[in-house]
Amino acid sequence: MSTVQFLNVHKSFGQVEVLKGINLTVEEQQVVCLIGPSGSGKSTLLRCVNHLEMTTSGAITVGGRMIGYDVYGDRLREASQLEINRRRSKIGMVFQSFNLFGHMTAKENVMFGPIKLLKMSKKDAQAHAEELLKKVGLSDRMDNYPSQLSGGQQQRVAIARALSMKPEVMLFDEPTSALDPELVGEVLDVMNQLARDGMTMIVVTHEMGFAREMGDVVVFMDNGVIVEQGDPHEVLGNPQHERTKSFLAKVL
């Protein structure tokens, strides 16, 4: 069963087409790493999965359901914001900038979604948050505010917060790019663990080591198209296309 499917996805901003017919299948429990130069459309592709952008044409399905459409096949509009929020909650997203609520502690950040959207009781949400924060190695930081945490710790809270909604898939958009180099490892370790636990993940990353070790598939995007995709050792070790070769020469 495929979890996320992109079928001839196009996306334009005004006259500028930034996704030019993306076809990609992400199977359940797969880790797909998306690499490519800045401006190639990687973030836009993730944002379309999470209803942060609407595709111009083509379709995206998650767990067999079409993103951006209701059960009658009509486009979800702003009026359906509640429905969009409900569906978005099943798709965990972690951004480069951690985006935590600054006025809430780590634990409150992780409790917020389940209480607000899943209507979980405060007691259950608290127990669940504690469990997740423990999982990301932050048992001793639960009552700290984001400003009292390092970037790596904040990003781990952000991961726990996304997991609190029991997502079907996790999307990561350069989750370690804003971190000091010595903090990258602790976030990658948490992502490694998630992958080993069987989470379906799409990861935009410049961490080629992670892509090689954890990726089931590496996808190289350039200028709005998928140039090549396949086994990480093949794509990274023996790229077939000039554009992939020249990109890898710069980052490896």
Residues that bind ligand ADP (CB under 6 A): 13, 18, 36, 38-44
Q: Name the segment binding Mg ion (CB under 5 A); options: 41-49, 114-122, 141-149, 232-240.
A: 41-49
Contact of residue 13 among ligand ADP, Mg ion, none (CB under 5-8 Å per partner type):
ligand ADP
CB closer to ligand ADP out of 149 and 204: 204
* Residue 1 CA: distances (Å) to CA of 71, 180, 213: 20, 38, 23
Task: Name the minimum Å distance from CB 33 to ligand ADP.
Answer: 13
Which residue in 43, 50, 176, 200 binds Mg ion (CB under 5 A)?
Answer: 43
Distance between CA 73 and CA 65 in Å, rounded? 10
CB closer to ligand ADP out of 42 and 51: 42
Q: Do residues 33 and 170 lie in contact, with contact meaning Cβ atoms separated by under 8 Å?
A: no
Nearest C-alpha neighbor of 187 from the set 218, 167, 210, 212: 210
Distance between CA 124 and CA 118 in Å, rounded? 11
Question: Which region, left, alpha or beta, applies to residue 243 given φ > 0 means left and ψ of -120 to 50 means alpha?
Answer: alpha
CB closer to ligand ADP out of 134 and 206: 206
Spell out the residues 6+ positions from residue 89 whose beta carbon is closer than 8 angstroms to its own.
Answer: 113, 117, 118, 165, 167
Contact of residue 101 among Mg ion, ligand ADP, none (CB under 5-8 Å per partner type):
none
Task: Name the minimum Å distance from CB 16 to Mg ion.
Answer: 15
Report residue 26 CA to chain centroid gap.
13
CB closer to ligand ADP out of 29 and 56: 56
CB closer to ligand ADP out of 43 and 155: 43
**DSSP letter string over 140-152?**
GGTT--GGGS-HH
Largest CA distance in the chain: 56
Task: Name the minimum Å distance from CB 38 to ligand ADP.
Answer: 4
Task: Name the minimum Å distance from CB 171 to ligand ADP.
Answer: 12
Residues paired with residue 230 on neighbouring β-strands, in sequence order: 218
Task: Name the minimum Å distance from CB 28 to ligand ADP.
Answer: 25
Contact of residue 41 among ligand ADP, Mg ion, none (CB under 5-8 Å per partner type):
ligand ADP
Task: Name the minimum Å distance from CB 68 to ligand ADP.
Answer: 16
CB closer to ligand ADP out of 39 and 237: 39
CB count within 10 Å of CB 150 equals 14
Residues that bind Mg ion (CB under 5 A): 43
